[in-house]
Amino acid sequence: CFECCIKCLGGVPYASLVATILCFSGVALFCGCGHVALAGTVAILEQHFSTNTSDHALLSEVIQLMQYVIYGIASFFFLYGIILLAEGFYTTSAVKELHGEFKTTACGRCISGMFVFLTYVLGVAWLGVFGFSAVPVFMFYNIWSTCEVIKSPQTNGTAGVEQICVDIRQYGIIPWNAFPGRMCGSALENLCNTSEFYMSYHLFIVACAGAGATVIALIHFLMILSSNWAYLKDASKMQAYQDLKAKEEQELQDIQSRSKEQLNSYT
């Protein structure tokens, strides 16, 4: 039983397992936190920066579309992570059982190469997602830092406080004719103290971290898949060599057996 357990544990692709867990965790953080943060952003815009619904109608549609895209991303990467983990089990078995009955096929090597290419494309795409997820973090950080300036004791008088403003229209997410479009002074400070702002800000940070973790997981998967593809290529060459060697040994045995039969017939 102990030897059987050791053999089973030796066939587990631990690198693929770690990459799968990291990928699932990153995608879950990005999708879950991003979905809630986008909903909080819409609520903040409607309540404080754009009271007219028509001014941010396009932004609301885009955010709703992004939320649906998040559902698709979560489903796709859940399936893709399981497939890559199964591919890791396949390649590990192919290498470890090279001298047994298990044989690598050209189809298996082609599938491994396809996963290398697809993971590379997804890694490049997630670099863009990671950069895009940093944009709302930058915007919320600017608002938060402005509120910290208002709270600082160096601010002189009420008139000076009211001159410190944040104009959300300059980021291009709402049009310039949106009303009021900006907040100043104590109203801005009250916004920073609301739960919607606090939660959305920190959820965007976690979503950005999740996107970064997913990028690291895809790079890890790319390294694993490239290594496994090289192992399968070497394994196929070794199999061809062993098949040729076995065929030559069989032919040699046939020649020896025919020579003995001829010698016995002569004697």
52 and 20 Cβ atoms separated by less than 8 Å? no
Q: Would you tell me how many other CB atoms lie within 10 Å of the CB of residue 67?
A: 16
pLDDT reported for residue 65: 92
pLDDT at 40 over 80: yes
Question: 13 or 201, which is more confident?
Answer: 201
- Give the pLDDT confidence of 230-241 residue by residue, as tens digits: 777 766 666 666
pLDDT reported for residue 235: 63
Single out the residue of 212, 174, 219 nearest to residue 33, CA to CA: 212
> For 101, phi and psi rounded to 5 degrees?
-85, -15
Which token pair is 40? 């909080």
- Give the pLDDT confidence of 48-80 residue by residue, as tens digits: 888 888 777 888 888 889 989 999 999 999 999
- Give the pLDDT confidence of 152-204 residue by residue, as tens digits: 756 555 556 778 888 888 888 888 887 788 888 888 888 888 888 999 999 99
Single out the residue of 182, 179, 161, 168 nearest to residue 140, CA to CA: 168
DSSP helix/strand/coil, 184: strand
In this prediction, residue 255 has a pLDDT band, given cuts at 50, 70 and 90, of: confident
pLDDT reported for residue 33: 94
| Averaged pLDDT for residues 39-53 | 86
pLDDT at 262 over 80: no
pLDDT reported for residue 99: 41
Q: What is the mean pLDDT of the chain?
A: 82
pLDDT reported for residue 155: 54
pLDDT at 213 over 70: yes
Question: 229 or 203, which is more confident?
Answer: 203
pLDDT at 102 over 70: no
Strand partners, 182: 167
pLDDT reported for residue 251: 73
In this prediction, residue 94 has a pLDDT band, given cuts at 50, 70 and 90, of: low
Question: 13 or 75, which is more confident?
Answer: 75
DSSP 198-232: HHHHHHHHHHHHHHHHHHHHHHHHHHHHHHHHHHH
Which token pair is 194? 């609301």
Do β-strands 182-184 and 165-167 pair in parallel, antiparallel, or remain unpaired?
A: antiparallel
| Averaged pLDDT for residues 90-104 | 56
E strands in the chain: 165-167, 182-184
pLDDT reported for residue 128: 94
